[in-house]
Structure 1
Amino acid sequence: MRRRFSLKCCLFGIGIPLTVWLTFNLVSWDLKLSANWNQPSGLKLRARKSLLVRKDKTNYSIEYRGNSPQFGGQCETISEVFNKALVKRYNSTVLNSLGIVSSPEDQKARDEGYQKYAFNELISNRIGFHRAIPDTRDPKCRGVSFPTIDLDASVIICFFNELPSALLRLVHSVLDRSPKQLLKEIILVDDSSTHDDLSCQIETYVNQHLQNVKFVRTPERQGLIRARVFGSHHASGKVLVFLDSHCEVNTDWLEPLLIRISQDPKTVVVPVIDIINHDTMEYQSSPLVKGGFNWGLHFRWDHLPANERNDPKLGAKPIPSPTMAGGLFAMKKSYFHQLGEYDVGMEIWGGENLEISFRIWMCGGRLEILPCSRVGHIFRKRRPYGNPIGGDTLMKNSLRVANVWMDEYKKYFLKQRPQAENVDYGDISDRLSLRKRLSCKSFQWYLQNIYPEQVVPGEDVKNSPPLPHHLPNKKKKPVVIKHGRLKHVASSLCVQSEKEVYTKKALLTLAVCDEKTLAGQKSQMWFETVDNELILAQMLCLDVESGTTNKSYARLMKCHGIQGSQAWTWTNKNGVSVLYNPASGRCLTLTSARPGGYLTLNLCTGTKKQEFTLS
């Protein structure tokens, strides 16, 4: 009897608790894998070769062997946390709250994200794979009935070391916002990413969750140009749509592209490229412009001519464009191959957009921007990865463009970039033969008929100057929504410049509030604008000192009007009103709550050192 009682004690006293403990740990381990899908798994897996690019002094060729390579091992899986039924609309306030850095772990994730991807990984991961974005089309484009379209599209997305949340959000946006009968497939081309763990996770997710998506991989790094050619040879749709890997497509984006191509198979079409802010992930509308170039063969955006700006159909009517940015466009598959695909003698990236733009116009085609199709794109300030072959690929590629297509006008390119004289640009005989076979027109014809706005050196300037950077930004007068003294609540001290209000780079400090004298009213008066700027005495903007991640001071700088480091939002953190800077992910913080104490930016913890008001 005693022995049976002891055995029962063992079973119930030890066996059952042990079973519960093991079950709990197994479940916890599985949940951890699902929750932390973006963490490295440590696997170093290689792909089998399916494409070879052979290069020698006289020829460039591409060979395809076998099927798409697959990873041979196991990797962590990506969980589909955000269901379509739970799609959220993230306004700027919500996005700012998602970017708040509240802990050293947040700061590490944010810093590593900018280093790897050149945009805010913290917010991108927190958004998930589905989100609602504003319909930025002109009202004339909305609510229309599309005719029957007898074309279908293969959407080709090439990527190299892309953030999974950004890439898969693009994929889901295409699936969510494209008619099934028009979307033949999505082809993801992994250009031999070196982040094997993330690439493996993306492939596994595609295989498990996405039926209409193909995943293919190059055996070695090819660069954007050859990777796109590789992807096009895997496509079965009648139209090829190329998208960069950090985009999101908008409402009814695909139909206008296919309709225009069905009307004229030799028309290459480009959506309007909206902006996805690289700091906040906010989706922002872009104005209507067209593509151009300077004589250094750098792409630029140009103003629309007066006759196009005054057209009552502007906003819905196709806009002929001399060039395209190259990241997003659609053309009939048969025409892409007939026109010579890309120049695979080019390396990695750069210049291919101008080359194909010149070729389209000069060889009998047409290039248009369609305002009724909108796609958002993350415009990064830098390319987060290097060039595996070394050298200046943009220089080499541009030199090939000049020697194949620009005729006597290439001299203007060489004057702008004289260092190109000594650059080996490889063999171009096949491209010259292509130009002859297609009976292409001269570059002079292109300038006179397609880009008359372009100023040839030595000629008089006849048109408005080009727009700087990737998109136009007209500087406008700040719209003030509130003004008053910026006060630290606990100390009742006011924020002012350590120097005169017009002194750039001056640090900010606390001082006794002076509401009586004219000098005090000027030096301590802040103006908050509709663009989230804080301007001292209507002179200089509150800005963030760059160049350090451990300690950043608040300072005064000339207002540039493009937000970024000069954007400040009021956010509630632990019941405290804090000033949050989305560009840094940090909050305005005191070093000392007494006169003379400087202001820095620190982790947003909601302490009394971070509580401010504007009154």
Structure 2
Amino acid sequence: MVERKSKVKCEDREYAGNLPRVSIIITFFNEYKSVLLRTLHSVVNRTSPELLKEIILVDDFSDTDFLDKPLNEYVAAHFTNVRILRMLKHSGRSHARMLGARSATAPVLVFMDSHIEVGDNWLPPLLEPIMLNNRTVMCPIIDRINEQTLRYQKVVGGRGAFDWNLNYSELPRLPEDMKYPSEPFKNPIMKGELFAIFSKFFWKLKGYDNGFNEYGGEQFELSFKIWMCDGEIYDAPCSRVAHIEANYRKEDDAESKPQKFILRNYKRVAEVWMGYYKKYLFQNNIKYSRISTGDLTKQKAVRSKCKSFEWYLDTVAFDTKKKYPPSLFKYAEGAIQNMGNSNFCVDTLSRQVRSTIGVSSCAENLASPHEQQFWSIGWTQDLRTSDDEICLDVPMRKINARVKLWKCHGQGGNQHWIYDIKTKLLRNGSHGKRCLEMLPHNMHLVVNKCNETKQYMKWIFGFTNRTALENMLT
């Protein structure tokens, strides 16, 4: 446990003189030359030589010319404690990091991305807590590098959280944390896998899950594992590392990867670490039922010696549980059948995000239709597709406003929907004065001022929780 000290400012803080040395592991894949070199020079220039034993660059099978022989020559000409390892095939960040960790020789491992810039004196705030407790995992506050100007932008920092699709978010620091704003504070979920960890503790946890594909889920697997297996994660406000925005990077991000890779990784995390609560993840996306996790024997062997996920939620991530309460509850789900013409149901038409949608012939089973016609309204009171990540949105406020598919944000507004079971109207927006309507002459789905006399504005769900819907409207 990291004890509270004082309100001493970061620039006035002194650290122990016998801090452990580190091996810094930086993985990259097709990174921009200027970005990678900025990262490398930043780490070397702003890290005390007494603390830096080595930097290990791990190339995840890049195919950019500079990242091959020219990079070897550049490193040899400018650095004495930097070496390069290369993957034999493109395998993803976690596999590349494991290669670097196996080669590391220092007592503390620091994992970094290849598109960062460290702040002044960034390392001692991470090392001192680890020296005092070798089961403490330390993360810097991750600032931003503007994608357009490449300027450094500071952020406040908060406690990592997640919803039941494993979407990462941040919640405010606890009131007791803000009494000592420069002191490390507990974090249930590390933000972006920029962290320092005692090497022996990393290997006791068996490192990263070697069954992961490509990218996705690493921060959740590591965070659950650390907390549940007698470790702790802290963020250090006096350690600042800035991270370049995703849409400027050449390296692929999670959203560009095939969804099946990410879902497979998430399912592995859930099956091993989430226990009873895994059902809240699986019920939100029917695709999980068709995904195989592969062998989980090694991961479950580690898990068998650790605390429960319920303990984690109640003791560590209690604010996450309050913000995103686990629930199988649905107000309504299934197909949405039009009462003006009962042959037609709301359908995504297999279209992508930001596209308009329409209607098509209803599936035979309205309670359990095919994916394109499956919709649900849950506790967030939005209208979600079968994968529970895409919502029906109304971006325009005009007559015959078209409805579109949009990534769910859970904040209501244009994505707020309530089903009025008495009138059969699907009301949109916080005031509920506009309703979903099918235009019979062109089969468009639009939103207009609610009118109980319009049959094409009335809808029937495949399944409804009548009592809950009636209570919602009272």
Name the counterpart of 1:448: 314
Could you tell me how far apart the structure 2 residues matched to 1:366 and 1:319 are?
A: 10
1:251 aligns with one of 115, 120, 141: 120
Output aligned runs, 1:10-89, within 5 Å: none
Could you tell me how far apart the structure 2 residues matched to 1:373 and 1:385 are?
A: 25
Name the counterpart of 2:77: 208
1:180 aligns with one of 28, 35, 49: 49
CA contact (8 A) 2:19 2:124 kept: no
Identity %: 38
Which letter maps to 2:260? D
Could you tell me how far apart the structure 2 residues matched to 1:304 and 1:209 are?
A: 41
1:367 aligns with one of 213, 220, 233: 233
Output aligned runs, 1:30-179, within 5 Å: 140-179=9-48
| TM-score, reference length from structure 2 | 0.64
Name the counterpart of 1:299: 168
Could you tell me how far apart the structure 2 residues matched to 1:356 and 1:325 are?
A: 11
Name the counterpart of 1:222: 91
CA contact (8 A) 2:94 2:215 kept: yes
Structure 1 residues 450 and 389 mapped into 2: Cα distance closer, same or farther (>3 Å)? Answer: closer
What CA deviation, in whole Å up to 9, does each residue of 1:48-94 have, x standing for no partner? xxxxxxxxxxxxxxxxxxxxxxxxxxxxxxxxxxxxxxxxxxxxxxx
1:418 aligns with one of 277, 286, 299: 286
1:277 aligns with one of 146, 169, 187: 146
Name the counterpart of 1:196: 65
Output aligned runs, 1:590-605, within 5 Å: none
Per-residue deviation at 1:322?
0.5
Could you tell me how far apart the structure 1 residues matched to 2:279 and 2:55 are?
A: 42
CA contact (8 A) 2:186 2:235 kept: yes
1:407 and 2:275 equivalent? Answer: yes
CA contact (8 A) 2:23 2:104 kept: yes
Could you tell me how far apart the structure 2 residues matched to 1:175 and 1:416 are?
A: 45
2:300 aligns with one of 432, 435, 457: 432
Greater Cα radius of gyration, structure 1 or 2? 1
Could you tell me how far apart the structure 2 residues matched to 1:294 and 1:342 are?
A: 22
1:239 aligns with one of 83, 89, 108: 108
The runs of at least 4 aligned residues of structure 1 exceeding 6 Å deviation read none
What CA deviation, in whole Å up to 9, does each residue of 1:457-504 have, x standing for no partner? 3499xxxx9xxxxxxxxxxxxxxxxxxxxxxxxxxxxxxxxxxxx99x
Per-residue deviation at 1:382?
7.5
Could you tell me how far apart the structure 2 residues matched to 1:222 and 1:348 are?
A: 6
CA contact (8 A) 2:31 2:250 kept: no
Could you tell me how far apart the structure 2 residues matched to 1:252 and 1:359 are?
A: 29
Which letter maps to 2:133? D
Which letter maps to 1:343? D
Structure 1 residues 265 and 296 mapped into 2: Cα distance closer, same or farther (>3 Å)? Answer: same
Could you tell me how far apart the structure 1 residues matched to 2:94 and 2:53 are?
A: 23
Output aligned runs, 1:545-560, within 5 Å: none
CA contact (8 A) 1:351 1:397 kept: yes
Per-residue deviation at 1:323?
0.5
Per-residue deviation at 1:333?
0.8
Could you tell me how far apart the structure 2 residues matched to 1:197 and 1:144 are?
A: 41
CA contact (8 A) 1:248 1:375 kept: yes
Could you tell me how far apart the structure 2 residues matched to 1:139 and 1:380 are?
A: 34
Structure 1 residues 420 and 382 mapped into 2: Cα distance closer, same or farther (>3 Å)? Answer: farther
CA contact (8 A) 2:161 2:169 kept: yes
| TM-score, reference length from structure 1 | 0.50
CA contact (8 A) 1:149 1:258 kept: no
Which protein is richer in strand relative to its size? 2
Name the counterpart of 1:344: 210
Which letter maps to 2:287? Q
What CA deviation, in whole Å up to 9, does each residue of 1:577-603 have, x standing for no partner? xxxxxxxxxxxxxxxxxxxxxxxxxxx
Give SS of 2:230's match.
Answer: coil
Could you tell me how far apart the structure 2 residues matched to 1:212 and 1:385 are?
A: 25
Give SS of 2:246's match.
Answer: coil
Which letter maps to 1:153? V
CA contact (8 A) 1:225 1:352 kept: yes
Give SS of 1:370's match.
Answer: strand
Structure 1 residues 457 and 144 mapped into 2: Cα distance closer, same or farther (>3 Å)? Answer: closer
**What is the RMSD of the two structures over their aligned residues, measured on CA atoms?**
2.4
Per-residue deviation at 1:155?
0.5
Per-residue deviation at 1:383?
6.8
Which letter maps to 1:444? E
Structure 1 residues 142 and 281 mapped into 2: Cα distance closer, same or farther (>3 Å)? Answer: same
2:221 aligns with one of 334, 338, 355: 355
Structure 1 residues 275 and 389 mapped into 2: Cα distance closer, same or farther (>3 Å)? Answer: closer
Structure 1 residues 308 and 145 mapped into 2: Cα distance closer, same or farther (>3 Å)? Answer: closer
Per-residue deviation at 1:364?
0.4
Could you tell me how far apart the structure 2 residues matched to 1:160 and 1:301 are?
A: 27
Per-residue deviation at 1:171?
1.0
Could you tell me how far apart the structure 2 residues matched to 1:457 and 1:336 are?
A: 30
Which letter maps to 2:51? L
Could you tell me how far apart the structure 1 residues matched to 2:123 and 2:214 are?
A: 28
Could you tell me how far apart the structure 2 residues matched to 1:389 and 1:245 are?
A: 18
Which letter maps to 2:26? I
Name the counterpart of 2:200: 334
What CA deviation, in whole Å up to 9, does each residue of 1:284-339 have, x standing for no partner? 10112111111101221111233333x1x11x111100011233101011111111
Per-residue deviation at 1:144?
2.6
Structure 1 residues 367 and 384 mapped into 2: Cα distance closer, same or farther (>3 Å)? Answer: same
CA contact (8 A) 2:160 2:188 kept: yes
Q: Unaligned stretches of 5+ in structure 1? A: 1-137, 466-501, 504-615
Give SS of 1:274's match.
Answer: strand
Per-residue deviation at 1:139?
7.5
Which letter maps to 2:313? L
What CA deviation, in whole Å up to 9, does each residue of 1:223-267 have, x standing for no partner? 101000000011111100001100000000011111110011000
Per-residue deviation at 1:390?
5.5
Could you tell me how far apart the structure 2 residues matched to 1:329 and 1:277 are?
A: 22
Give SS of 1:343's match.
Answer: coil
1:380 aligns with one of 230, 246, 253: 246
CA contact (8 A) 1:239 1:333 kept: yes
Per-residue deviation at 1:392?
2.3
Could you tell me how far apart the structure 2 residues matched to 1:274 and 1:197 are?
A: 28
Structure 1 residues 142 and 322 mapped into 2: Cα distance closer, same or farther (>3 Å)? Answer: same
